[in-house]
């Protein structure tokens, strides 16, 4: 039978087939395949065991799309969060923990590089948005990134969030503690484990530990993911990085050199656009920060 993976633990996976979930182990051949052999969202072929409640995944269909980041535990490798989704909701909170624009930019780049539409879900608006944050947020609609403001606590903005999710499979990703699980549990009216962020450093406690695909009304699915501390990009070439930031991408054609990194190269179109105020200096600074971290990791891998 053919089903879709809706949950994945280190040992096995849950596969949804005709409205029922089956606990499935991975065929040995798949396990030996190493990296990301089966991820949530994958369409798989399952062989049921005699009893009928369990099965074994014997093959995985090619993924249409996926989103991944770099994992630095041991040897650096690609960590695929999920596959076969329609869009990515980048979830951040106004405070506790405070939105980090560098992390948002990385996430948007990862989505763009995988041809996935993405938008910003700004949660915890009940805590109040500063003028400084509003000013910085204003950049995003200008570069085509919609902002959805909401509060899982007060319920504000949840109707708009719901309509943005309808009829699509959406991955919610963002730092730990921003309220991803709280939002899903509100929207779907189900219980999901959540936990307060720590008081002393305002960081989340990594409450969600596995990716879960929550099927909802016809055609709708919401995918909860474990929050991250830092989102490191995987598989993006430093020379191509600016391609995945739309405001920079529209200027790179003007660069004199094809391999321009837009730092201080002569004839750089991006630098020209910054001085002519077509690119926001904060976005440019964010680009430089991301470029530096990608180059630094590339160095480390050598």
* 60 and 37 Cβ atoms separated by less than 8 Å: yes
Q: Judged by CB, which is closer to Zn ion: 104, or 270?
A: 270
Residue 268 contact among Zn ion, ligand GTP, Mg ion, none, beta carbon within 5 to 8 Å by kind: Zn ion
Among 21, 54, 126, 265, binds ligand GTP (CB under 6 A): 126
83/181 with CB nearer Mg ion = 181
DSSP assigned state of 5:
E
Min dist CB 17 to Mg ion, Å, is 26
Contacts of Zn ion in 223-262 (CB under 5 A):
255, 260, 262
The C-alpha atoms of residue 211 and residue 196 are separated, in whole angstroms, by: 20
Min dist CB 158 to ligand GTP, Å, is 10
CB of 95 to ligand GTP, least distance (A): 8
> Distance between CA atoms of 132 and 151, rounded to whole angstroms?
20
145 scored as a contact of Zn ion (CB under 5 A): no
* Cα distances (angstroms) measured from residue 253 to each of 153, 165, 260, 269, 301: 45, 35, 10, 7, 30
Interface residue with ligand GTP, options 27, 85, 103, 152 (CB under 6 A): 152
- Binding test (CB under 5 A) with Mg ion, winner from 208, 212, 220, 286: 208
127 sits near ligand GTP (criterion: CB under 6 A) = yes
Q: Which two tokens stand for residue 71?
A: 């994992």
Cα(4)–Cα(40) distance, integer angstroms: 8
Choices 111-119, 157-165, 177-185, 279-287 (CB under 6 A): range interacting with ligand GTP = 177-185
């Amino acid at each position: 039978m053919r089903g879709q993976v809706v949950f994945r633990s280190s040992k096995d996976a849950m596969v949804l087939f005709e409205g029922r979930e089956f606990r499935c182990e991975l065929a040995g051949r798949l396990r030996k395949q190493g990296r990301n052999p089966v991820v949530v969202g994958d369409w798989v072929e399952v062989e049921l065991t005699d009893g009928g409640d369990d099965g074994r995944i014997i093959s995985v269909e090619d993924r249409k799309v996926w989103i991944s980041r770099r994992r630095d535990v041991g040897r650096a490798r690609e960590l695929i969060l999920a596959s076969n989704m329609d869009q990515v909701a980048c979830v951040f909170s106004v405070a506790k923990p405070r939105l980090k624009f560098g992390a948002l930019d990385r996430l948007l780049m990862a989505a763009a590089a995988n041809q996935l539409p993405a938008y910003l879900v700004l949660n915890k608006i009940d805590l109040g948005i500063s003028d400084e944050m509003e000013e910085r947020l204003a950049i995003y609609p200008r570069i085509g990134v919609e902002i959805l403001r909401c509060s899982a606590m007060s319920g504000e903005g949840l109707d708009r969030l719901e309509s943005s999710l309808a009829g699509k499979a959406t991955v919610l990703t963002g730092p730990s503690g921003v309220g991803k699980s709280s939002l899903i549990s509100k929207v779907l009216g189900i219980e999901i484990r959540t936990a307060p962020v720590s008081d002393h450093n305002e960081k989340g406690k990594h409450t969600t530990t596995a990716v879960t695909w929550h099927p909802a009304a016809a055609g709708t699915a919401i995918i909860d993911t474990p929050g991250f501390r830092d989102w490191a990009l995987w598989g993006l070439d430093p020379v191509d990085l600016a391609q995945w930031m739309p405001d920079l991408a529209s200027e790179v054609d003007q660069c004199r050199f094809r391999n321009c990194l837009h730092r201080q190269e002569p004839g750089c179109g991006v630098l020209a656009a910054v001085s002519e105020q077509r690119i926001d200096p904060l976005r440019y600074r964010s680009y430089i920060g991301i470029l530096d971290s990608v180059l630094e990791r590339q160095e480390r891998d050598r």
